[in-house]
Amino acid sequence: MDVLLIGSGGREHSIAWKLAQSKNLGKLYIAPGNAGTAQCGENVPIGANDIEKLVDFAKQNDVGLVVVGPEDPLAAGIVDAFEAAGVKAFGPGAGAAQLEADKAFAKQLMRSSAISTAEGRIFERFKDAKAYIASRDEAVVVKAAGLAKGKGVYVCDDPADGILAAEKIMCDKIFGQAGEKIIVEDKLLGEEVSILAFVDGRNIYLMESSQDHKPIGDGDTGPNTGGMGAYSPAPVVTEPLMDKITREILVPVVDGMNRNGTPYRGVMYAGLMITGGGPRVLEFNVRFGDPETQPILMRLKSDLLEVCLAVCDGKLDQVTLEWDRRPAVCVVMASGGYPGAYEKGKRITGVEEAEQLKDVVVFHAGTRSQDGDLVTNGGRVLGVTALGEQIADAKARAYKAVDKIKFEGAYCRGDIADKAIRK
Ligand code: AMP
Ligand code: GLY
């Protein structure tokens, strides 16, 4: 079967790498892809949000399955468009994608499904938000309700900063329409984890746990990024905790989506805070996480294409996921200056040498080929991922590979997975 994968990040390279191992894969197309995905299939120069052209391409090329990586096209209804054209597509439709694209919708769904989350209020007018935050006199978290490329959340220890954040979002409109509504919620304390599951509308199949590292600096300092590294599994998630998360969060949200008339199909990503009082939801995403997918898929032994088809066909109860028991660690190498301004076009060397190390895969994110050279083409450039007997071995191997790769201004955190090693 020929497959079209949509997106161009590290997540998409890891999905392409895994799909390419499937025994039933014919041709793999990636739109638009990066220099890494070009090694797994054929890159197609159509943007991830150009729905009409993507549908035409899929029809003309007899694509049997489309796999959608990023949230923007999902929220814009790309899966509905493929289905209307008779093409099978993996991911939620626009109605179900609201779970990520509208945090007010997600908050209300959690409330009506009795899912534990931070206490929060939704505001449509700055005046009301300001009065509420001023009355709180404690730390608040201010969130743009819409999609803001992972940058729409401000954790404010001082309420005055909370008011400034609300002003930037609602009055200065720094996220445009995505900031027409905001959520103001209590700050939760604890350890964060990402729980990803395949969902076919009815059945839920959890993947192995993982943990992201959002801030740019070691020790979780500095501004948030798309994610600077990840590991899987997350030792904080014990088996009883995983059961509790399934029972009290995933089952109710899937039921709630059905009751709402927006049945959920695809990958469900629950961003959780493990607090003293149990797991509570920070957010839902409607897709694979980036960079969590890199270590997770390195550990998946089963055929990803078969699982994606089972999700689309409502037959998830007929597949079994098998995992490599060894942990995996992914270290993101970024362009100097990221998450602020950075330059592109820097020549990258040493990737092949790094990949000669045992159980190492270098997933590309912001890369492209230029006159036979590999050059940087984004903020997050590479996700250097390794398996190891223990998490410390996986970390050591990933950093050994990182040391072999050079480009001007290259930056990575030095403490990825330390939290897990301390456990
Ligand atoms: P979100 O996009 O909603 O996951 O928020 C991005 C990041 O902000 C999360 O990964 C957390 O680190 C942090 N965050 C969001 N909501 C809260 C909260 N209620 N309490 C503490 N931290 C939060
Ligand atoms: N790693 C966070 C995300 O994918 O949203």
CATH number (domain holding residue 166): 3.30.1490
Examine the domain organization and report whether 176 and 195 are in the same domain: no
Q: Please report the pLDDT score of residue 149 as a whole number.
A: 84
Q: Please report the pLDDT score of residue 223 as a whole number.
A: 87
Examine the domain organization and report whether 174 and 212 are in the same domain: no
Q: Does residue 16 lie within any of the structural domains? A: yes
CA of 53 to the centre of ligand 1 (A): 35
Examine the domain organization and report whether 32 and 148 are in the same domain: no
- The dihedral over CA atoms of 344, 215, 116, 77, expressed in degrees to the nearest 10, equals 0
Decide: 80 in ligand 1 pocket, CB within 6 A. no
Which ligand lies nearest the alpha carbon of 383? 2
Closest CA to 216 of 77, 416, 358: 416
CA of 281 to the centre of ligand 2 (A): 14
Cα-to-chain-centroid distance, residue 295 = 12
Q: Please report the pLDDT score of residue 334 as a whole number.
A: 98
Decide: 118 in ligand 1 pocket, CB within 6 A. yes
Decide: 212 in ligand 1 pocket, CB within 6 A. no
Residue identifier of the C-alpha nearest atom 3 of ligand 2: 289
CA of 115 to the centre of ligand 1 (A): 16
Examine the domain organization and report whether 237 and 299 are in the same domain: yes
93, 111, 141 - which closes a domain:
93
Residues in Cβ contact with 397 at an 8 Å cutoff, skipping those fewer than 6 apart: 329, 357, 358, 359, 360, 386, 387, 388
What is the rounded distance in angstroms from the CA atom of residue 348 to the CA atom of residue 38?
16
What is the rounded distance in angstroms from the CA atom of residue 162 to the CA atom of residue 185?
10
Examine the domain organization and report whether 310 and 196 are in the same domain: yes
Q: Please report the pLDDT score of residue 19 as a whole number.
A: 98
Amino acid at 243: D
Closest CA to 291 of 232, 210, 227, 366: 227
Structural domain span for residue 169: 125-180
Examine the domain organization and report whether 249 and 305 are in the same domain: yes
Where does residue 210 rank: exposed (0-12), middle (13-18), buried (19+ CB within 10 A)?
buried
Please give the chain's pLDDT, 423 residues, in tens. 999 999 999 999 999 999 999 999 999 999 999 999 999 999 999 999 999 999 999 999 999 999 999 999 999 999 999 999 999 999 999 999 999 999 999 999 999 999 999 999 999 999 999 999 999 889 999 999 999 988 899 999 999 999 999 999 999 999 999 999 999 999 999 999 999 999 999 999 999 999 999 999 999 999 889 999 999 999 999 999 999 999 999 999 999 999 999 999 999 999 999 999 999 999 999 999 999 999 999 999 999 999 999 999 999 999 999 999 999 999 999 999 999 999 999 999 999 999 999 999 999 999 999 999 999 999 999 999 999 999 999 999 999 999 999 999 999 999 999 999 988
What is the rounded distance in angstroms from the CA atom of residue 247 to the CA atom of residue 253?
10
CA of 292 to the centre of ligand 2 (A): 7
**Lookup: tokens for 162:** 């909370």
Q: Does residue 54 lie within any of the structural domains? A: yes
Q: Does residue 171 lie within any of the structural domains? A: yes
Q: Which atom of ligand 1 is nearest to the CA of 185?
A: 19
Residue identifier of the C-alpha nearest atom 4 of ligand 2: 289
Where does residue 208 rank: exposed (0-12), middle (13-18), buried (19+ CB within 10 A)?
buried
Q: Which atom of ligand 2 is nearest to the CA of 289?
A: 4
Examine the domain organization and report whether 300 and 220 are in the same domain: yes
Q: Does residue 279 lie within any of the structural domains? A: yes
Q: What is the CATH number of the domain that holds 292?
A: 3.30.470.20
Examine the domain organization and report whether 57 and 176 are in the same domain: no
Our mutation pick for probing the ligand 1 site, out of 155, 157, 188, 221, counting the most ligand atoms within 8 A of Cβ, is 155
Decide: 144 in ligand 1 pocket, CB within 6 A. no
CA of 44 to the centre of ligand 2 (A): 25
Examine the domain organization and report whether 198 and 314 are in the same domain: yes
What is the rounded distance in angstroms from the CA atom of residue 260 to the CA atom of residue 279?
24
Decide: 193 in ligand 1 pocket, CB within 6 A. no
Examine the domain organization and report whether 335 and 311 are in the same domain: no
287, 318, 349 - which closes a domain:
318
Q: What is the CATH number of the domain that holds 347?
A: 3.90.600.10
Report the sign of the C-alpha dihedral through residues 253, 243, 230, 413, in that order: positive
318, 350, 379 - which closes a domain:
318
Q: Please report the pLDDT score of residue 224 as a whole number.
A: 87
What is the rounded distance in angstroms from the CA atom of residue 310 to the CA atom of residue 313?
5
Examine the domain organization and report whether 305 and 357 are in the same domain: no
Q: How many domains, the chain? A: 4
Q: Are 250 and 243 in contact (CB under 8 A)?
A: no
Residues near ligand 2 (Cβ within 6 A)? 150, 212, 227, 285, 289-290, 292
Residue identifier of the C-alpha nearest atom 2 of ligand 1: 150
Closest CA to 91 of 200, 249, 227, 203: 200
What is the rounded distance in angstroms from the CA atom of residue 133 to the CA atom of residue 71?
30
Q: Does residue 106 lie within any of the structural domains? A: no
Q: What is the CATH number of the domain that holds 32?
A: 3.40.50.20
Q: What is the pairing mode between strands 65-68 and 3-7?
A: parallel
CA of 167 to the centre of ligand 2 (A): 25
CA of 104 to the centre of ligand 2 (A): 19
Q: Please report the pLDDT score of residue 27 as a whole number.
A: 98
Q: Does residue 104 lie within any of the structural domains? A: no
Q: Does residue 111 lie within any of the structural domains? A: no
Closest CA to 250 of 262, 264, 230, 261: 264
Tell me the three-class secondary structure of the chain, residue by residue. CCEEEEECCHHHHHHHHHHCCCCCCCCEEEEECCCCHHHCCEECCCCCCCHHHHHHHHHHCCCCEEEECCHHHHHCCHHHHHHHCCCCEECCCHHHHHHHHCHHHHHHHHHHCCCCECCEEEECCHHHHHHHHHHHCCCEEEEECCCCCCCCEEEECCHHHHHHHHHHHHCCCCCHHHHCCEEEEECCCCEEEEEEEEEECCCEEECCCEEECCEEECCCEEEECCCCEEEECCCCCCHHHHHHHHHHHHHHHHHHHHHCCCCCEEEEEEEEEEECCEEEEEEEECCCCCCCHHHHHHHECCCHHHHHHHHHCCCHHHCCCCECCCCEEEEEEECCCCCCCCCCCCEEECHHHHHCCCCEEEEECCEEEECCEEEECCCEEEEEEEECCCHHHHHHHHHHHHHHCECCCCECCCCCCHHHHHC
Q: Which atom of ligand 2 is nearest to the CA of 285?
A: 5
Q: Does residue 118 lie within any of the structural domains? A: no
User: Sheet holding 65-68: strands in order across?
Assistant: 42-43, 28-32, 3-7, 65-68, 89-90
Q: What does pTM read for this prediction?
A: 0.97
Examine the domain organization and report whether 252 and 198 are in the same domain: yes
